[in-house]
Structure 1
């Protein structure tokens, strides 16, 4: 676990700062660190991991697409929009958030078919913890704007 944390500490700032092909390599390394982090936290057996990771990847892809669509909607709000257009934009955003919740509920059930309920709970906690750690490391990277630098 300690070596995983060390890997995370070195990869997160580099993944944020790098561009191009090298940045893609860093992001792949960060994804590998996430896989190791979750595998360790959830204590997946080899048999569980073989069944779990394809399902988790499917879940992640679908969730990533919903999040991308939500970001595009938020970016679309402009001064030139009518109140009705802004209202519709919000309604679409709410619908996407509901779809994300429905997706989590769907995969909550699917995950329980390959890992225990306790492991599912550990999975969702591990995802949050990993994301927090990455954000903390990226925000604290030298040369990166942080909350204290405003």
Structure 2
């Protein structure tokens, strides 16, 4: 099992190497480290075979890139000062945000189907759980480093 896990991790690293090469500097190194940890975490939690890993990671990487783009677009719509916007601008931002959230749901549905072509339904279920658990663990570690305060303020951990 140990050799299989090493092989899977190597395959995962190879699958993500182009993305990691684009990340430069210290923050890019941290993001690469975080992505590697996520790959190892998900691989362990959903128990991928070598064949599954080869087929799964390119699909998953495509999914996460598209989801990341939607989240980036969503962040550009956020403002800390809605009083500085007109009612029309607020309405337009909220309308765009809802459309982006719908796109995210549609993306998850699309990839839910794609994941089932590579993984068992049980593994797909474990994948979504593992993603949430990994995110919670990262947020917890960030909060611990900041002295117990969650990164987005109190009460926003879930």
Q: Indicate the TM-score class for this superposition, using the shorter chain for normalisation.
A: 0.7 to 0.9
Range with greater deviation from structure 2 (72-81 or 109-118):
72-81
Q: How far is the alpha carbon of 1:85 from its aligned partner?
A: 1.6
Contact 1:77–1:89 under 8 Å retained in 2: no
Contact 1:66–1:96 under 8 Å retained in 2: yes
For residue 146 of structure 1, what is the aligned residue in structure 2?
149
1:36-75 equivalences under 5 Å are 36-75=40-79
Between the aligned partners of 2:72 and 2:51, the Cα distance in structure 1 is 32
Between the aligned partners of 1:77 and 1:104, the Cα distance in structure 2 is 31
Q: How far is the alpha carbon of 1:63 from its aligned partner?
A: 0.1
Counterpart of 2:83 in 1: which secondary structure?
coil
Name the structure, 1 or 2, with higher relative contact order (CA <8 Å, separation 6+): 1
TM-score by length of 2: 0.75
Q: How far is the alpha carbon of 1:27 from its aligned partner?
A: 2.0
For residue 122 of structure 1, what is the aligned residue in structure 2?
126
For residue 3 of structure 1, what is the aligned residue in structure 2?
none
